[in-house]
Amino acid sequence: MIGDFSDKKLVLVEAILKAWTLKPVGSEGYRMAEVTLGGVDTRDLDAKTMAARAVPGLYFVGEVVDVTGWLGGYNFQWA
């Protein structure tokens, strides 16, 4: 488990993850684009400011927030 890693090994893992690059090689296109489920639970956010209740100064909006509905930009309205 990662909790058993030494500090030295954790620093190595951090360096590897920071250097990791993801490069999309294609897309299904706009015709297939949809919003998926998941994200930051709205119960963990202040509804007026969108600030995280557990971390002062951290805010979330838009697609990162777990708001779903029919296709048509519901998460964009939250942004």
Q: What is the pLDDT of residues 42-70, one digit of tens each?
A: 999 999 999 999 999 999 987 788 877 66
CA-CA distance, 54 to 21, in Å (whole number)? 30
Contact indicator for 62, 76 with CB cutoff of 8 Å: yes
Structure tokens at 74: 């519901």
CB 53 within 8 A of CB 46: yes
Q: Which of 34, 30, 53 is nearest to 43 (CA)?
A: 53
pLDDT at 65: 85
**Domain residue spans in the chain?**
2-78
The percent of residues above 70 in pLDDT, for the chain, comes to 81
**Residues 8-40: tens digit of each pLDDT:** 999 999 999 999 998 989 888 877 776 567 789
